A and B are shown apart, each in its own frame.
Chain A
Amino acid sequence: MAEGEFYRAANPQEAAGLLAQHGGGARVLAGGTDLMVAINKRKFKPQVLIYLGDAGMSGISQEGDALLIGAATPLNEILASPLVADKAPLLAAAIKQMASPAIRNAGTIGGNLANASPAADTATPLLVLGASLKLVGAKGEREVPLAEFFTGPGQSVLGADEIIAQVKVPAQAAKAKWAYRKVGKRKAQSLSVVSVAVYCPLSGGKVSGAAIALGAVAPTPLLATEAAGLLNGKALDEATIAAAAKAAAGATSPIDDARGTAWYRKRASEAVVKQLLTELAG
């Protein structure tokens, strides 16, 4: 039986060119923690694999007030980064609860986003921090806000010949409160049933520029814009928190699956948002 080709892309442009050249049977491979599971389960039979591990897409640096994280950076490298701990501790807090050490050593931030799972655990912190993605295609590159990236379960605006090359994360404001919580069946090695990231920059004791994101409760990771808007200009008092939590749950459209029911997810969404905001107020 004919064996397909395996390419080691030297840079993101070459990887995008190879995708354009080979079409639908080609996939990019980074850590393999999603793709190899699909291959082992015979859900996908690759004709061409384009390896990104040597494409210079790994590493974390600072540009002005933002972090630039190479899409092929392993999750554990982000978790261990002093720069991330300083500028985007919310992202580190979410990664710490993902999967298990061995999976985080291989799995990458770009892979977590590119697969566009509604339960992608890096998506919620990145959404509230206003992250954007550098997409490199065969015909050039573009920057897309993460808030405009996901279009459905497993679906995104990523073109057939495009890859995520870099994630740009604006640094958290010095005077900001933040919190993250993941509800799963167990602590480790678990897909989110509900996950919530909240980010509340403060100005003179009032919230200004708040953001709330929820995972695994809608067809895509969800920015609860209306709920966050209810916090702006307010102190985090009980009534404000209750209204925001209700609005956040109202924005969800969860499904029943093996991990939880839609009924549970909607109620858990409200409860977790309320819990996190109450913690921030305390």
Chain B
Amino acid sequence: MHTLELTVNGQTCRVEVGLKTTLLELLRDKLHITSPKVGCNTGDCGTCSVLLDGVLVRSCITNALSVQGKSVTTLEGITEPGDIHPLQKAFHEHYGSQCGFCTPGMILASKALLDVNPSPTRDEVKEALSGNLCRCTGYVKIIDSVLAAADEMKS
């Protein structure tokens, strides 16, 4: 096993991982942070998405040892405990979530977009979410939610 130090949602963690351990396994199995979901495990579906030093990545195909010294943000870390982020509020109000399995990845991909582009067009939202699959909503409600959150965050 190899010892690894990283920051997760603002907290410094020291964990033991193997050579093949993914960031997703580290988060779920070692740290019990369960918002990143195990979907395809091949980088295709996007439900395991997290922010690595503020940049959107797939935790299922990120080798855990490659995140030594870096900072990871999951859905749990985008607000203070007990608070709700404008994106979460908008997904709730605009029915952007149905079964909920894709939602953590959708919200983090949306946050990655709004962090660099606070006033995206509908097409820019589609492009930003192009790697996140949803089998329930047909995407329309998700895009509505992101645009509503962008409006809310600007006001």
Interface pair B42/A101, CB less than 8 Å apart? no
Whether a CB of chain B sits under 8 angstroms from the CB of A253 is no
A102-B41 contact, Cβ under 8 Å, with A3-B18, A6-B2, A29-B66:
no
B86 within 8 A of A: no
Q: Mark A32-45, 1 if CB is under 8 A from B, else 0.
A: 11011101110001
- Residue on A with the closest CB to B56? A102
Q: Is the CB of B56 within 8 A of A36?
A: no
B41 with A40: CB separation less than 8 A: yes
Contact between B66 and A39, CB atoms less than 8 A apart: no
Q: Are B66 and A101 in contact (CB under 8 A)?
A: no
Q: CB distance A3 to B19 under 8 Å?
A: yes
Count: A-B pairs, CB below 8 Å:
82
Residues of A within 8 Å of B18, CB to CB, are: 3
Specify the chain A residue showing the minimal Cβ separation from B50: A102
| Residue from the set A37, A102, A187 with the largest chain B CB neighbour count within 10 Å | A102
Among B108-155, those with CB < 8 Å from A are 109, 112, 127-128, 130-132
- Say whether B44 contacts A6, CB under 8 Å: no
A169 interface contact, C-beta 8 A:
no
Return A112 CB to nearest CB of chain B, in Å: 14
Q: Is the CB of B61 within 8 A of A40?
A: yes
**In A83-115, which residues have CB < 8 Å from any B CB?**
99-103, 105-106
A243 on interface, CB distance cutoff 8 Å: no
What are 25 A-B pairs with beta-carbon distances under 8 A? A3-B19, A32-B62, A33-B43, A36-B22, A36-B43, A36-B61, A40-B60, A41-B42, A46-B19, A53-B66, A99-B131, A100-B130, A100-B131, A101-B109, A101-B127, A101-B130, A101-B131, A102-B49, A102-B58, A102-B109, A103-B58, A105-B55, A105-B56, A188-B131, A189-B131
What's the Cα separation between A90 and B55 when bound, in Å? 25
Given contacts A3-B18, A40-B42, A46-B20, contact A101 B63 (CB under 8 A): no
> Contact residues of B with A, CB < 8 Å?
1-2, 18-20, 22, 41-44, 46, 49, 55-58, 60-63, 65-66, 68, 109, 112, 127-128, 130-132
Complex CA distance for A37 and B42, rounded to whole angstroms: 5
How far, in whole Å, are A4 and B19 apart by their CA atoms in the complex? 6
Q: Are A101 and B60 in contact (CB under 8 A)?
A: no
Interface of A is mostly: mixed
Enumerate A40-66 residues with CB–CB distance to B below 8 Å.
Answer: 40-41, 45-46, 49, 51, 53
Tally chain A residues at the interface, Cβ within 8 Å: 29
* B66 A105 Cβ-Cβ under 8 A: no
Q: Which residue of A lies closest to B67 (CB)?
A: A53
The 8 closest A-B pairs by CB, nearest first: A100-B131, A188-B130, A36-B61, A102-B56, A4-B19, A6-B65, A37-B42, A105-B55
State in angstroms the CA–CA spacing of A37 and B48 once bound together.
14
| Chain A residue contacts of B62, Cβ below 8 A | 32, 36, 106
Q: How far is the CA of A37 from the CA of B44 in the complex (A)?
A: 10
